[in-house]
Chains A and B, each alone.
Chain A
Amino acid sequence: MDYTALYPEIIVALFALALPAVNLLIKDNRFLAAVSLAGVGLSMLAVLMFYLDGTGSIAFDNGLLVLDNFSALFMMVFLSVAFVVILASVKYIEKEKHGAEYYSLVLLATVGMMLVASATDLFVLYIGIEITSLSSYALVAFRKKDIKGTEAATKYFIFGGISSAFTLFGISLIYGVTGTTSFAEIGALVGTLTEYKEMLWLALVMVIVGFGFKVAMVPFHSWAPDVYEGAPTTITALLAAGSKKMGFVAMFKFFLIAMLAIKADWEIVVAVLAIVTMTVGNLAALQQTSIKRMLAYSSIAQAGYILIAVAVGTEYAVTGGIFHILTHAFMKGGAFIVVATLATVAIGEKIADYKGLAKRSNFMAFSMTVLLFSLAGIPPLAGFASKVVLFSSPIMGTVDGADWMIWLAVAGIINSAISLYYYARVVKYMYVDELEEGAPSEKLKLPKSMMAAVAICVVAIIGIGVFPEPFIQLCKDAAQALFA
Chain B
Amino acid sequence: MEIPILSLMLLVSLVGAVVTFALGKNPKMAKISALVFSAIPMLLSLFMLTQYVQTAGGYQFRESFTWIDSLGISYILGVDGISVPMVFLSTLLVFLAVIFSWDVDHRTNQFMALLLVLELGVLGVFMALDYFLFYIFWEVVLIPMYFLISVWGGPRRSYSAIKFFIYTHIASLAMLLGIFALYFEAASFNGFYSFGMEDINSVSPLFGLTFQIVVFGALFFGFAVKMPTFPFHTWLPDAHVEAPTAGSVLLAGLLLKMGAYGIIRVALPALPDGAGEWQIVMVILAILSIVYGAIMCIAQKDLKKMVAYSSISHMGLVLLGFATFTEIGIAAGVFQMFAHGLITAVLFMMCGVIQHKAGTRNIPRLGGLAAKMPIAAVFMMIGFMASLGLPGMVGFVAEFSIMTATFDAFGWLLLIPVTSIAFTAAYYIWAMQRTLFGPLTKEVDTEHLHDVYWFEALPLAVLCGLIVLFGMFPAMVMDYIRPALGTVLGLLGGI
The reply to whether A414 and B170 contact each other, CB–CB distance below 8 Å, is yes
A416 to B171 Cα, complex, angstroms: 12
CB contact list, B50-87 vs A, under 8 A: 67-71
The reply to whether A420 and B67 contact each other, CB–CB distance below 8 Å, is no
Residues of B contacting A431 with CB < 8 Å?
147, 151
A410 to B178 Cα, complex, angstroms: 11
Residues of B contacting A428 with CB < 8 Å?
150, 158, 161-162
A432 to B165 Cα, complex, angstroms: 15
Binds A, one of B179-187, B241-249, B444-452: B179-187
Interface centre among B67, B147, B180, B185 (most CB of A within 10 A): B180
The reply to whether B184 and A392 contact each other, CB–CB distance below 8 Å, is yes
Query: B200 to chain A: closest CB distance in Å?
Result: 13
Residues of A contacting B185 with CB < 8 Å?
399
B170 CB contact (under 8 Å) in A380, A392, A417, A476: A417
Whether, in the assembled complex, A35 has its beta carbon less than 8 Å from a beta carbon of chain B, the answer is no
B180 CB contact (under 8 Å) in A378, A392, A473: A392
Q: Mark A410-434, 1 if CB is under 8 A from B, else 0.
A: 1001101100110011001001100
A contact residues, total (Cβ < 8 Å): 33
B contact residues, total (Cβ < 8 Å): 33
Known: A392-B180, A413-B174. A472 touches B70 (CB 8 A): yes
A73 to B180 Cα, complex, angstroms: 27
The reply to whether B151 and A432 contact each other, CB–CB distance below 8 Å, is yes
Residues of B contacting A473 with CB < 8 Å?
70
The reply to whether A421 and B162 contact each other, CB–CB distance below 8 Å, is yes
The reply to whether A420 and B169 contact each other, CB–CB distance below 8 Å, is yes
A270 to B170 Cα, complex, angstroms: 25
A400 to B187 Cα, complex, angstroms: 11
A379 to B173 Cα, complex, angstroms: 12
Q: Mark A70-98, 1 if CB is under 8 A from B, else 0.
A: 00000000000000000000000000000
B166 CB contact (under 8 Å) in A373, A392, A396, A417: A417
The reply to whether B177 and A413 contact each other, CB–CB distance below 8 Å, is yes
A413 CB contact (under 8 Å) in B146, B176, B183, B184: B176
B70 CB contact (under 8 Å) in A373, A392, A409, A469: A469
A391 to B150 Cα, complex, angstroms: 30
A420 CB contact (under 8 Å) in B150, B165, B177: B165
A391 to B172 Cα, complex, angstroms: 14
The reply to whether A424 and B68 contact each other, CB–CB distance below 8 Å, is no
Whether, in the assembled complex, B202 has its beta carbon less than 8 Å from a beta carbon of chain A, the answer is no
The reply to whether A396 and B184 contact each other, CB–CB distance below 8 Å, is yes
Whether, in the assembled complex, A105 has its beta carbon less than 8 Å from a beta carbon of chain B, the answer is no
Residues of A contacting B378 with CB < 8 Å?
none
The reply to whether A432 and B158 contact each other, CB–CB distance below 8 Å, is yes
Whether, in the assembled complex, B188 has its beta carbon less than 8 Å from a beta carbon of chain A, the answer is yes
Query: A316 to chain B: closest CB distance in Å?
Result: 10
The reply to whether B180 and A395 contact each other, CB–CB distance below 8 Å, is yes
A379 CB contact (under 8 Å) in B71, B139, B147, B170: B139
CB contact list, B120-170 vs A, under 8 A: 132, 135-136, 139-140, 142-143, 146-147, 150-151, 158, 161-162, 165-166, 169-170
Residues of B contacting A391 with CB < 8 Å?
176-177, 180
Query: B371 to chain A: closest CB distance in Å?
Result: 40
Whether, in the assembled complex, A364 has its beta carbon less than 8 Å from a beta carbon of chain B, the answer is no
A388 to B67 Cα, complex, angstroms: 15
The reply to whether A392 and B183 contact each other, CB–CB distance below 8 Å, is yes
Residues of B contacting A41 with CB < 8 Å?
none
Top 4 A-B pairs, shortest CB-CB distance: A379-B136, A392-B180, A399-B184, A395-B180
Residues of A within 8 A of B (CB): 373, 378-380, 384-385, 388-389, 391-392, 395-396, 398-400, 409-410, 413-414, 416-417, 420-421, 424-425, 428, 431-432, 468-469, 472-473, 476
Q: List 8 A-B contacts (CB under 8 A).
A: A378-B142, A396-B180, A396-B184, A399-B184, A409-B177, A414-B173, A424-B165, A469-B68
